[in-house]
Amino acid sequence: MLEWALAFGFGALGLALAMNLWRLIKGPGVADRILALDTMVINVIGLIVLAGIAGGSGTSFEAALLLAMVGFVGTVAYAKFLLRGDIIE
Amino acid sequence: MSGAVSFPEILASALIVLGGCFALVGSWGLVRLPSLMERLHGPTKATTLGLGAMLVASVLWFQLGKGQWTTHELLVSVFLFVTAPISANMIAKVHLLRLRLGETSEPAGPAGMPDAPPGRAEWATYEAPHEGTPGDFVGD
């Protein structure tokens, strides 16, 4: 039963990533692209969590935490650069 | 596959399916909704909630199904729930600033452009550092 649920989860997240990629390419604004990148990071964290459940090891969650932090810092850096013309003033 | 399915497996499977549905709905909203202020709703609410369901499924599966106590997942979910509104706020500020500068071709959203603040005040996106704080340009 868990295998079927994991297969559904992988499929849903893959489809979600494809939709985010469509929004990333189409735009139309630069804020849309930042939002699409942020959502892609969140969906990839979900993929890592599901891979951790499927693999049966607890070691993949450090990667998930690291990706969450890097994704947040990246989003804020993009937004700060567009708002102020500089990242660290 | 044998007939007996254990209770933790049912619980984890249900939460994983729920999380996948919410993540899908969030990204579908990102594609379908007409303006950026509406598009912000999908990823910041539905996708974060879906990821939270998946992380709870992972905690329950490792705890009840395998007897390993792990808390990394809770750390990830707390971090995501704290940071999602902050990044949404930053993206909304970028959108407002670019609308204000006339640099974007996209619609402003159902509420239209917000009113300008009174006097010489500006939106927070334009706010310069206050005098006496590091980064002010009084002396330049």
* Domain spans in chain B, listed from the N-terminal domain onward: 7-101
| pTM of the model as a whole | 0.83
Subunit contact A1:B9, Cβ cutoff 8 A: yes
Summarize the confidence of residues B16-34 as an average pLDDT.
92
In whole angstroms, what is the distance from residue B9 CA to residue A5 CA? 10
Structure tokens at A78: 């993009």
What integer best gives the mean pLDDT of chain B? 79
**B74-78, B85-89, B107-111: segment of lowest average pLDDT:** B107-111
pLDDT tens track for A37-84: 999 999 999 999 899 888 877 677 888 889 999 999 999 999 888 887
Instruction: Count interface pairs A-B at CB distance under 8 A.
Output: 175
What pLDDT, on a 0 to 100 scale, did the predictor assign at position A14?
94
Per-residue pLDDT band for B70 (boundaries 50, 70, 90) equals: confident
Q: Please write down the HEC assignment for all residues of A29-83.
A: CHHHHHHHHHHHHHHHHHHHHHHHHHHCCHHHHHHHHHHHHHHHHHHHHHHHHHH
Q: How far is CA A67 from the centre of its chain?
A: 8
Going A24 to A30 to A34 to A35, the CA torsion angle's sign is negative
* Contact yes or no for A13/A43 (Cβ under 8 A): yes
Does pLDDT of B1 surpass 60?
Answer: no
User: Does the ipTM exceed 0.90?
Assistant: no
| Percentage of chain A exceeding pLDDT 70 | 94
CB within 8 Å: B72 and A65: yes
- Encoded amino acid at B90, one letter: M
Question: Is the CB of residue A72 less than 8 Å from the CB of residue B87?
Answer: yes
Per-residue pLDDT, B113: 72
Cα(B77)–Cα(B51) distance, integer angstroms: 8
Flag if A5 and B83 touch (Cβ within 8 Å): no
**Does A54 reach chain B within 8 Å, measured CB to CB?**
no
Chain A nearest CA to B51, separation (Å):
6
pLDDT band at B110 (very low <50, low <70, confident <90, very high): confident
What distance in Å separates the CA atoms of residue B114 and residue A27, rounded to the nearest whole number? 23
Question: Which residue in A has a C-alpha nearest to residue B90's C-alpha?
Answer: A79
Per-residue pLDDT for B2 more than 60? no
Average pLDDT over residues A18-23: 93
Return the percentage of chain B with pLDDT > 90, whole number: 26
- Which of residues B139 and B44 earns the better pLDDT score? B44
Interface test with A, best of B21, B38, B60, B91 (most A CBs within 10 A): B91
| Cβ–Cβ under 8 Å, residues B98 and A30 | yes
